[in-house]
């Protein structure tokens, strides 16, 4: 009897020790931080903050979105890469992080090695928009023919050198063998305003950014760079429908874990993110921005990001795109 009692006591002590060694996550008195490597008010905030709010409800814990903008999202990513992989720090990011390795040769982090992708939290296709008065005809085939006849006459705006809007324009030029002058701006607002005003002829913006101007008739949506039409703009054809088979570009936004974060924490956050993205409020918000959430497993997402890094590296190399 004494031997049995001693065995039970020993088993209880072992269980208690094991429980003590298992990290409690999330801890009720320790907030979770999402580092956003871009300034407040941008597209990453538009997706990241509603997601953080929904996750905070699900996890019954606070989630702080910490904006650490600078150098095209690379400064904040470098900070995030050095944080402890304990599940209390995560990184919000975007397609720009797959472009950065080609534009910033001396990065102190590697997006494919120092982070573990959790999910694409939203994806918005790019759309070709033109000023209504700049081209004789406002259909894609006619626009391409017009630009080809007058190389150097037309220009396009972007949100800055090295951004997805810039490189989408370069990709379009390369695929169609066109000469269009690139005019970089400091952000979406100023770029779109000058296209509307007629200072610039066209832009390869995200559907979310250009949507208000398309709806008002201030800009003409020529084609979306996706494999199917947008539900928000069903009358706008895809570039594929119009004969440009490989012109598929989206600005996607994602959540990453710091590499080395325990698997059980990564699994938990991954599951919670999928629940949050399926919530009615999130779905309604995303639909209003013309955004979708691609269905991908985490290994598929990691492979996709690797492909994006390679794809944009090729565009940068062939186009000669630079930050200056």
- Strands, DSSP E only, in the chain? 32-36, 63-67, 89-94, 115-130, 155-158, 181-184, 202-206, 220-224, 250-258
Tally of CB atoms within 10 A around 5: 9
Cis before 69 (ω within 30): no
Count of helix runs (H) and strand runs (E) in the chain: 11, 9
**SS3 for 16?**
helix
d(CA 126, CA 226): 8
DSSP state of 207: H
Task: Report the first-to-last Cα separation within the chain, whole angstroms.
Answer: 82
What are the residue ranges in the chain where pLDDT is below 50?
A: 4-23
d(CA 198, CA 154): 11
* 6 CB burial (10 A radius; 0-12, 13-18, 19+): exposed
Is residue 103 within 8 Å of 163, Cβ to Cβ?
Answer: no
The string of pLDDT tens digits covering residues 198-254 is 999 999 999 988 999 999 999 999 999 999 999 889 999 999 999 998 899 999 999
Is residue 168 within 8 Å of 262, Cβ to Cβ?
Answer: no
**pLDDT for position 10:** 45
DSSP H helices, 278-321, are: 280-288, 298-319
SS percent in the chain: helix, strand, coil, step 5: 45, 20, 35
d(CA 297, CA 137): 43
Is residue 277 within 8 Å of 123, Cβ to Cβ?
Answer: no
The string of pLDDT tens digits covering residues 124-145 is 999 999 999 999 999 999 999 9
Is residue 282 within 8 Å of 60, Cβ to Cβ?
Answer: no
Closest CA to 183 of 157, 212, 148: 157
**SS3 for 157?**
strand
């Amino acid at each position: 009897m004494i031997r049995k009692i001693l065995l039970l006591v020993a088993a209880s002590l072992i269980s208690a020790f094991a429980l003590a060694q298992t990290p409690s996550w999330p801890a009720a008195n320790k907030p979770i931080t999402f580092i956003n490597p871009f300034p407040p008010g941008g597209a990453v905030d538009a997706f990241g903050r509603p997601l953080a709010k929904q996750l905070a409800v699900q996890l019954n814990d606070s989630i702080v979105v910490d904006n650490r903008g600078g150098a095209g999202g690379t400064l904040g990513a470098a900070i995030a890469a050095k944080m402890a992989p304990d599940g209390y720090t995560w990184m919000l990011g975007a397609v720009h992080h797959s472009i950065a390795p080609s534009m910033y040769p001396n990065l102190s982090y590697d997006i494919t090695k120092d982070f573990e992708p959790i999910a694409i939290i939203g994806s918005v296709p790019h759309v070709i928009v033109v000023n209504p008065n700049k081209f004789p005809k406002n259909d894609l085939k006619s626009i391409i023919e017009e630009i080809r006849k007058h190389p150097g006459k037309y220009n396009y705006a972007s949100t800055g050198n090295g951004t997805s809007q810039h490189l989408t324009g370069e990709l379009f030029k390369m695929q169609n063998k066109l000469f269009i002058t690139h005019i970089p701006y400091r952000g979406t607002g100023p770029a779109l305003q000058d296209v509307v005003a007629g200072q610039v002829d066209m832009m390869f913006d995200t559907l979310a950014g250009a949507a208000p101007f398309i709806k008002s008739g201030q800009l003409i949506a020529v084609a979306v760079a996706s494999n199917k039409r947008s539900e928000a703009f069903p009358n706008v054809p895809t570039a594929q429908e119009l004969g440009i088979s490989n012109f598929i570009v989206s600005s996607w936004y994602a959540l990453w874990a710091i590499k080395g974060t325990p698997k059980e924490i990564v699994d938990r956050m991954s599951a919670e993110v999928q629940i949050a993205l399926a919530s009615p409020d999130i779905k309604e918000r995303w639909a209003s921005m013309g955004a979708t959430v691609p269905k991908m497993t985490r290994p598929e997402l990691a492979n996709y990001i690797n492909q994006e890094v390679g794809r944009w590296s090729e565009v940068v190399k062939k186009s000669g795109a630079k930050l200056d």
